[in-house]
Structure formats: structure tokens, C-alpha cells
């Protein structure tokens, strides 16, 4: 009957715990409902575009733990106003929740590529400063509103990463569930936009007439699918001598600002009311023209008369644009781009170039579908066979580079842009209107280390990408000394000598620089999950899905870090890892002492439980170690379950052994406890409730059994030394162990504190098991007739009957 009462008690405890979970869910829903009822304050002339009520926010560990928010922004927006409010949900009644530092990164076109954990980006990663600007907002999860505005944002999709500021996990405390406050961070966010309604529609290729009195004015026009420059004719009417100069700006996709524009110049309508402004457009895109009065000194702006008298492409004999073919592999973010070909095995492009021409290749990165991977761009020069056989450099007496017909002296400048094509310059830069930036690649045939280059673009922006090539002949690249204004090159150092006046002159061993040449560049464009579909050899490539958005990321192991798990700067030494795993495993050997004491005191069931605890704990910690020193005899989740389960069962059977009850009742409790503890371990082995519940019930049964026995006998059942020495010492050891386990563990000291936990619990069993099945015997030595016990006769061959014929 007592067994049924015990089962009923366990069911009630588990039910109460389930009720607690329901209460937590109810509390969370109630707080979210409060946020939902909070009315957003919409500003005048603003329009509410989107909002998210309760986004879960987690501590940054990798891109697996970030939350992603999607903001759509339409055209003609002059102000995008983001509102954020973060709060802490307190899901239990223990302690209090402190505000956390919440970081939000916002970027147009794709997910922001950031490294909050401080690791460097891997080799070949494109410089983040050369990409679209990332807006960073920091706030506390204290329930206060924070707003952030972006002026004249680009239309399209904006993405935000949300996470709690990274902290070094090695210094973080290991918290036990149920002992500390259960806090959860959530974020409310919305987006309001203000649109410019008074934007006139014009034709980019015919021009516009504007009344001076109607300035400021804004217009927009659509360009055709061409890289040819646009000549916009602007006429200002109704001008007078009292007029001021006018500022003219053009920007693609959105209205221009002080920092973002294609061109920006000023002109005086009093001198001439007609102005033609030439600029290179984005193909097939909206362009916004803005006119405004200039207040103050106009000299800080370029003069439209001399601002841009010719197009960048006018110095190029030929300019062509080719569309690349997409070769899809049918897996997440896995595809190639190349010139159209029937070869199913290779999408590598051979780009034939002639000096004087700019060849642009374009391809499209689709929104949502393609932005979650990593785009790799590789380019190299296709050299002659003799180049690779060692004939590239020929020296005479270790001095100047000699020229032979087999050597090739040229370089190719390659530019990469989104939305438009730039003009490669011989200086190794790219020019678009008056904006100049470093080229993506500069491939040089005179240097074996410069004939190949590679970049990796994490989370590429959606849109149309352009790769522009331009070949420059040896009149620019040749490393030889020059004469005749750089048109001739000295080849043989012996041909150089001084004349009577001391000037260096040469004989006829010179040659004319080449102005026309041909070359071939090899281009490879490929996208994969993570880096080439893998994370070095020290992590797993995974996918993070959030609200229908998908991104690939590397989950690193064994102390490695960075995007591709190749950074080992924070990894412990192999010797340190080996010492740590030996501490965690060999500390379990103290259970041999517990097993020995349990056996000689005739607690055979308890001894078997201690054996299983020692074995599972040892092999679990050996398997849970860093990969460099780990050893797994089976799957880690099986060993983890065995470790937690056997540990709880050891507490359970020890408490029952300390109780005063018949063997039938004890065996019933042991079997019932085995089932309930298995359920609790499967439910949540990390929860403190799973540990506290069987221990609390075991202590209750123990105390009840002692009380009932004392009422019957009116004296203590166990020897006095047990109550005065062994029991207090065992309780003290268990208390110290529990304090270490629950409150003192951090990631840094885990291997020491947890090893101490193993040892102190193993030793405490020795003092807690009462030695009452033997009489007048040393508690730590077997009795004189121990080997005559029924258990030992099992191993005595002399007691085994010999079969007879």
C-alpha cells in the first residue's frame, strides 16, 4: 500500500511541475499580450510598414543564436524610422532579471556579416568597409523605447540581426536550472516610413525645365538597360540677379543625401539658365534628381561646367556587357555562374581581353534564395606553358629583367560593383563618375604571386553584380628602366653606359613598349553554404531558419572560432585539454572506494549502482572532451543519459539504504524510483527539479522510517558513532559538493570543480552507508567470516556440486 502512496506522490510532484510549466507559458503570453496592447505612436505624415511583437533574443555564440528581422522599404522614402523596445521576461520567482545589452545590426540587401566575438575574418574575405554600410544600434532590455532613423534609404529588403552582446563563455558561470532566475529577453520592433509625394516624373534622356521659384524640387526617371552615359539637359526659367546658385544632385534608387550621390555639383543660373550634365547611370534603374538652393559659400561644391565633361567610357575603344549563365546545384546556396557553355562539369569562364576595351560580366543574386551563403570569386591569368616551366624571369648578371618573346608583360585590373559597371584604371583603381575605389583584383604577369587572386563575400547582397575587366600592356607594367618619355625600355644592363657629360645613355639594345596586346583571364564564380560547403575540419556547417529566412553558418568545436572554424587563437593547448579530461575521468576512480565499502558492508545493489555511475561518468566525460583528446565508446547522448541517470539513482539507493525498512519495501521503492528517475532524466536532465525531486522524496522516506522505528523501539537503531561522526561528516561532504556543483562552477574552472564534485560525492557515500548488517567489525574492513557469506560462495568452486555419471 505504501508503494501506491509513493507513486501517487510522484505523480503529484510531476503534475505540479507541469503546472509550473503551464504557469510560465501563461505568464509569457500575458506579457506578450501587454506588449501587443501597447499602441505604437505613429508620427505625422508617417506610415507604419511592419512590426514584430516579441522576437526572442539570445546570447551571441554563433549565427545559430542570432534572430533575424525583415524590413521591407518601398521607393520614394525620405525617412525610415525604426523603433525598438527590449524587455526581460521573468519566468520564475527566483531572484531578479538584470537588463542585458542588446545589439542590432541593420543592413540593406542581405544579412549583416559581423563578428561580435572578436575573431578576425578569414583570409580572402572581402573588406567589410567596402560593402554596404551596417547600422549598429545598442540598447538595454529595460523596457525603454529606442528609435533610429535612416535618411533616404534604398528601397528593397533590409535585414536586422539581433543578439545579446557576446561574453567570453570561459568566464561565464555555469547555472543550474531551478536555482537561478529564469530570464528570457524579447524585443518589440516596428518600422515607420515617410514618403516624398512631390517627385516629378521626367525623361532622363530629354531633360527638364524647372521654375526657379519652385526650387527645392525633386524628379525621378528610369534609365535604359545600357551603360552609355546620360546627358541631362536642365533649364531654369524665371531667373533674376537676386538668385543664388543651385545645387544639383543625382542618385540611383533613392533620393540623394550629403554623403550618397552619383554626382553633386553647383551652377549659377544667372550666368546661364541651361546646363547639360553628363553622368554614368545604373542600367535599368530609377534615378533621382534633386535641386536646391545653396546657402553660404558655393565653392565647396564642384562646378557643373567643369564637373564632368566626358564619360569614363570615352577613353575606352569598346565596352561590352555579357550576361553569365547560372548553374544551379539544387542545394541551399550552392550554384555557379559562368559564360554560357554546354559543359556540365565546369562553369569556369575564359574571358578573352584586348587592350583598349572594357568587358563587363553581370550576374544576379536573388533576394531570400541566394543571400544566405558565401560567394567566392577567383580570377587568374592564363599564361603560356613556358611561363609555368620557369622561363618567366630571365636575368643577366642578376640585374635587370631581360626581355624575350616568350615573356609576357601585362596586367589586368578587375572591378566588382552592384547595380553598375565601373571603369578599371591603370593605377589599380575603379572609377564610376567621380567616385574612385580600389580594384577587386590586379593581376600582374611579371609576378608569380599576382597572377591569381581570390575573395569570399559572406552573405552577398541581392541585386545585379558587375565584374569589369581591362587589360593594360607592358608600357605600363614593364619593370625595366625607361627613356624617351617612357616609350622605350632598356633590356640588357650591359647596354647602359655614361657619355662624356656623365649622362646615362644606351646603345640600340632597347625596344618599343607594346600598346596593343591580348590576354585571357580565367574567372570562377561559385556560391556555397559556409566556406566551400564546410567549416575547415573543426566544425559543422548548419542552417539557421528564422521566420522563413535561411542563412548558413559554422558551428565550431574544440575551442576553434571564426567564420570557418580555422582560428585557434583561443584554443587551449593539447596538454591542457588532456589534463582536463584526465581530471574529469580519473576523479571517478574514488568510486572504487565506495564500491569496496558497499560490498564489505553487504550492500550489493548499491555497489552495482556505484559501478555503473563510475563507468558512465568516466566515459561520458572522455567523450564530452574536445575533439583532439575525446574518446567515445558509443554515442555521446547515450553516455550523457547514463551519467545523469546513474548519478541520481546512486543518491536514491543510498538514501533508501540509510532508511529502516524491510527488504521487500526497499526493493519496491528502488524499482519505483528507477522508473520515475528515468522519466525525469528523459524530461530534462539539466533541470534542478529532476535532481531535487528524487532526493527530497528519498530524504522524506528516510526521516519517516527513522521516526516510525524510533516510536516502536524508543531508541536509535544504528550505533551511536554513526549519528555523531559518520552521518554529520557525510552530510557535510554532500553539502560542500552540492554548493560547488550548483554555485561555484564556471566554464573556466569546470574541470577542477566538477572533478572535486566527483571525488567528494564518492567519499561521502562511505560515511552515509550505515554498517548495520555486520556485528562488531571495523567499518572499513571486511569481517572475519565475510568470505563465508552467500555472495562470496558464488565464486567458491569448492561449493559447486560435481555432477556424477
Residue 614 has what pLDDT?
94
Task: Report the distance separating Cα 543 and Cα 550, nearest Å.
Answer: 7
Task: Report the distance separating Cα 393 and Cα 399, nearest Å.
Answer: 11
User: How many other CB atoms sit within 10 Å of the CB of residue 176?
Assistant: 17
**Nearby residues of 706 by Cβ (< 8 Å), 6 or more positions away:** 659, 660, 717
Omega prior to 386 cis, within 30 of 0: no
Long-range contacts of 672-678 (CB under 8 A, 24+ apart): 672/3, 672/6, 672/7, 672/10, 673/649, 673/698, 674/649, 676/10, 676/14, 677/645, 677/648, 677/649, 677/652, 678/645
Q: What order of strands is seen across the sheet that includes strand 411-418?
A: 318-323, 357-365, 463-472, 411-418, 441-444
Task: Report the distance separating Cα 151 and Cα 82, nearest Å.
Answer: 11
Taking 60 as the threshold, does the pLDDT of residue 21 lie above it? no
Report CA dihedral (445, 448, 449, 450) to the nearest 10 degrees. 10
494, 498, 513 from 504: Cα distances, Å: 12, 4, 20
In the chain, what are the domain boundaries?
A: 44-195, 199-310, 319-493+507-528, 574-793
Residue 158 has what pLDDT?
96
Residue 1 has what pLDDT?
41
120-162 pLDDT tens trace: 888 889 877 788 899 999 999 998 889 999 999 999 999 999 9
Looking at per-residue pLDDT, the higher value among 369 and 407 belongs to 369
409-435 pLDDT tens trace: 788 999 999 999 999 998 899 999 888
**Nearby residues of 732 by Cβ (< 8 Å), 6 or more positions away:** none
Task: Report the distance separating Cα 193 and Cα 104, nearest Å.
Answer: 19
Taking 60 as the threshold, does the pLDDT of residue 116 lie above it? yes
250-295 pLDDT tens trace: 999 999 998 889 988 888 888 888 888 888 899 999 999 999 988 8
**pTM of the predicted structure, to 2 decimals:** 0.79
Please name the residue ranges forming H helices in 244-320: 304-307
Contact 559, 572 (CB under 8 A): yes
Pairing, β 463-472 against β 374-381: unpaired
729-771 pLDDT tens trace: 999 998 888 888 777 777 778 888 889 889 998 999 889 888 8
519-576 pLDDT tens trace: 889 999 999 999 888 888 888 899 988 888 999 999 887 778 888 888 888 887 888 8
Q: In CATH terms, is domain 44-195 a member of 3.40.50.150?
A: no
Beta strands in 8-76 (DSSP E): 47-57, 67-73
Residue 711 has what pLDDT?
86
User: Which band of pLDDT confidence, cut at 50, 70 and 90, is reported for residue 684?
Assistant: confident
Task: Report the distance separating Cα 173 and Cα 95, nearest Å.
Answer: 16
CATH for 574-793 (1.20.1280, 1.10.10, 3.90.660, 1.20.1070)? 1.20.1070
Taking 80 as the threshold, does the pLDDT of residue 53 lie above it? yes
Pairing, β 217-222 against β 199-201: parallel
C-alpha cell at 318: 569598346
Long-range contacts of 722-725 (CB under 8 A, 24+ apart): 722/770, 722/771
418, 798, 800 from 803: Cα distances, Å: 92, 13, 9
Task: Report the distance separating Cα 769 and Cα 561, nearest Å.
Answer: 47
DSSP state letter for 456: E
Q: Which of 176-180, 212-216, 302-306, 796-800 has the lowest mean pLDDT?
A: 796-800
User: Residue 367 — φ and ψ, nearest 5°?
Assistant: -70, 150
Residue 400 has what pLDDT?
40
Q: What mean pLDDT comes out for the span 677-702?
A: 85
C-alpha cell at 754: 566538477
**Nearby residues of 485 by Cβ (< 8 Å), 6 or more positions away:** none
What's the half-sphere exposure (Cβ side, CA atoms, 13 Å) at 411?
24
Mean pLDDT of the chain: 82
C-alpha cell at 189: 520592433
Taking 60 as the threshold, does the pLDDT of residue 657 lie above it? yes
571, 572, 618, 626, 727 from 622: Cα distances, Å: 18, 17, 6, 9, 33
Report CA dihedral (555, 561, 562, 568) to the nearest 10 degrees. -140
Percent of the chain at pLDDT > 90 equals 35
Pairing, β 435-438 against β 429-432: antiparallel
Amino acid at each position: 500500500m505504501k508503494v501506491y502512496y509513493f507513486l501517487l506522490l510522484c505523480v503529484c510532484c510531476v503534475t505540479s511541475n507541469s503546472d509550473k510549466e503551464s504557469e510560465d507559458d501563461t505568464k509569457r503570453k500575458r506579457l506578450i499580450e501587454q506588449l501587443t496592447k501597447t499602441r505604437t505612436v505613429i508620427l505625422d505624415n508617417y506610415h507604419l510598414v511592419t512590426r514584430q511583437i516579441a522576437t526572442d533574443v539570445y546570447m551571441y555564440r554563433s549565427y545559430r543564436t542570432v534572430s533575424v528581422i525583415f524590413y521591407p522599404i518601398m521607393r520614394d522614402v525620405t525617412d525610415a524610422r525604426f523603433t525598438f523596445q527590449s524587455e526581460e521576461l521573468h519566468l520564475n520567482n527566483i531572484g531578479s532579471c538584470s537588463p542585458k545589452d542588446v545589439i542590432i545590426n541593420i543592413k540593406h540587401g542581405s544579412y549583416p556579416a559581423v563578428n561580435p566575438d572578436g575573431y578576425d575574418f578569414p583570409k580572402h574575405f572581402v573588406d567589410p568597409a567596402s560593402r554596404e554600410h551596417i547600422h549598429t544600434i545598442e540598447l538595454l532590455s529595460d523596457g525603454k523605447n529606442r528609435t533610429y532613423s535612416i535618411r533616404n534609404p534604398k528601397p528593397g529588403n533590409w535585414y536586422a540581426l539581433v543578439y545579446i552582446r557576446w561574453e567570453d563563455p570561459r568566464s561565464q558561470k555555469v547555472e543550474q536550472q531551478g536555482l537561478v532566475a529564469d530570464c528570457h529577453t524579447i524585443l518589440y520592433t516596428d518600422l515607420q516610413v515617410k514618403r516624398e509625394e512631390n517627385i516629378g516624373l521626367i525623361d532622363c534622356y530629354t531633360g527638364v525645365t524647372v521654375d526657379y521659384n519652385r526650387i527645392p524640387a525633386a524628379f525621378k526617371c528610369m534609365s535604359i538597360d545600357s551603360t552609355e552615359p546620360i546627358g541631362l539637359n536642365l533649364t531654369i526659367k524665371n531667373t533674376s540677379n537676386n538668385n543664388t546658385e543651385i545645387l544639383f544632385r543625382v542618385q540611383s534608387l533613392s533620393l540623394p543625401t550629403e554623403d550618397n550621390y552619383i554626382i553633386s555639383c553647383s551652377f549659377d543660373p544667372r550666368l546661364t539658365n541651361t546646363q547639360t550634365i553628363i553622368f554614368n547611370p545604373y542600367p535599368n534603374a530609377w534615378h533621382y534628381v534633386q535641386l536646391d538652393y545653396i546657402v553660404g559659400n558655393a565653392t565647396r561644391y564642384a562646378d557643373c561646367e567643369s564637373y564632368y565633361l566626358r564619360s569614363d567610357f570615352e577613353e575606352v575603344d569598346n565596352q561590352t556587357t555579357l550576361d553569365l549563365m547560372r548553374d544551379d546545384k539544387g542545394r541551399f546556396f550552392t550554384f555557379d555562374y559562368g559564360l554560357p557553355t554546354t559543359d556540365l562539369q565546369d562553369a569556369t569562364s575564359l574571358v578573352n581581353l584586348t587592350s583598349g576595351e572594357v568587358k563587363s560580366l553581370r550576374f544576379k543574386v536573388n533576394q531570400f534564395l541566394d543571400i544566405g551563403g558565401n560567394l567566392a570569386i577567383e580570377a587568374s591569368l592564363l599564361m603560356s606553358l613556358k611561363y609555368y616551366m620557369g622561363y618567366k624571369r630571365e636575368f643577366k648578371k642578376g640585374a635587370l629583367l631581360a626581355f624575350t618573346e616568350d615573356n609576357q608583360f601585362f596586367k589586368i585590373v578587375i572591378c566588382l560593383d552592384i547595380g553598375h559597371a565601373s571603369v578599371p584604371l591603370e593605377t589599380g583603381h575603379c572609377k564610376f563618375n567621380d567616385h574612385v575605389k580600389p580594384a577587386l583584383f590586379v593581376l600582374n604577369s611579371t609576378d608569380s604571386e599576382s597572377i591569381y587572386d581570390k575573395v569570399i563575400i559572406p552573405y552577398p547582397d541581392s541585386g545585379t553584380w558587375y565584374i569589369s575587366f581591362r587589360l593594360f600592356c607592358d608600357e605600363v607594367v614593364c619593370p625595366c628602366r625607361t627613356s624617351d618619355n617612357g616609350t622605350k625600355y632598356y633590356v640588357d644592363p650591359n647596354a647602359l653606359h655614361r657619355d662624356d657629360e656623365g649622362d646615362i645613355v644606351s646603345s640600340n639594345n632597347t625596344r618599343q613598349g607594346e600598346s596593343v596586346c591580348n590576354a585571357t583571364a580565367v574567372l570562377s564564380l561559385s556560391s556555397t553554404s559556409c566556406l566551400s560547403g564546410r567549416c575547415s575540419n573543426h566544425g559543422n556547417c548548419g542552417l539557421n531558419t528564422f521566420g522563413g529566412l535561411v542563412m548558413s553558418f559554422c558551428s565550431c568545436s574544440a575551442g576553434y572560432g571564426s567564420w570557418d572554424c580555422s582560428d585557434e587563437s583561443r584554443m587551449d593547448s593539447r596538454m591542457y585539454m588532456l589534463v582536463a579530461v584526465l581530471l574529469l575521468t580519473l576523479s571517478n576512480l574514488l568510486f572504487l572506494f565506495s564500491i569496496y565499502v558497499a560490498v564489505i558492508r553487504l550492500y550489493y545493489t548499491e555497489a552495482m549502482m556505484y559501478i555503473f555511475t563510475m563507468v558512465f561518468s568516466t566515459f561520458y566525460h572522455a567523450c564530452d572532451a574536445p575533439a583532439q583528446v575525446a574518446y567515445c565508446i558509443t554515442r555521446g547522448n547515450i553516455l550523457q543519459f547514463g551519467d545523469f541517470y546513474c548519478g541520481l539513482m546512486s543518491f536514491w539507493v543510498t538514501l533508501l539504504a540509510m532508511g529502516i525498512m524491510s527488504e521487500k519495501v526497499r526493493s519496491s521503492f528502488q524499482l519505483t524510483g528507477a522508473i520515475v528517475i528515468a522519466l525525469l532524466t528523459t524530461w530534462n536532465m539539466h533541470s534542478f527539479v529532476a535532481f531535487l525531486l528524487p532526493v527530497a522524496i528519498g530524504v522524506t522516506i528516510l526521516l519517516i522510517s527513522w521516526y516510525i522505528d524510533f516510536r516502536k523501539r524508543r531508541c536509535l537503531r544504528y550505533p551511536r558513532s554513526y549519528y555523531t561522526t559518520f552521518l554529520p561528516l557525510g552530510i557535510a561532504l554532500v553539502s560542500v559538493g552540492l554548493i560547488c556543483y550548483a554555485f561555484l562552477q564556471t566554464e573556466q574552472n569546470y574541470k577542477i570543480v566538477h572533478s572535486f564534485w566527483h571525488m567528494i560525492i564518492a567519499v561521502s557515500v562511505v560515511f552515509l552507508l550505515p554498517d548495520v548488517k555486520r556485528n562488531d567489525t571495523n567499518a572499513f574492513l571486511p569481517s572475519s567470516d565475510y568470505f563465508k557469506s552467500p555472495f562470496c560462495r558464488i565464486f567458491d568452486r569448492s561449493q559447486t556440486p560435481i555432477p556424477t555419471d
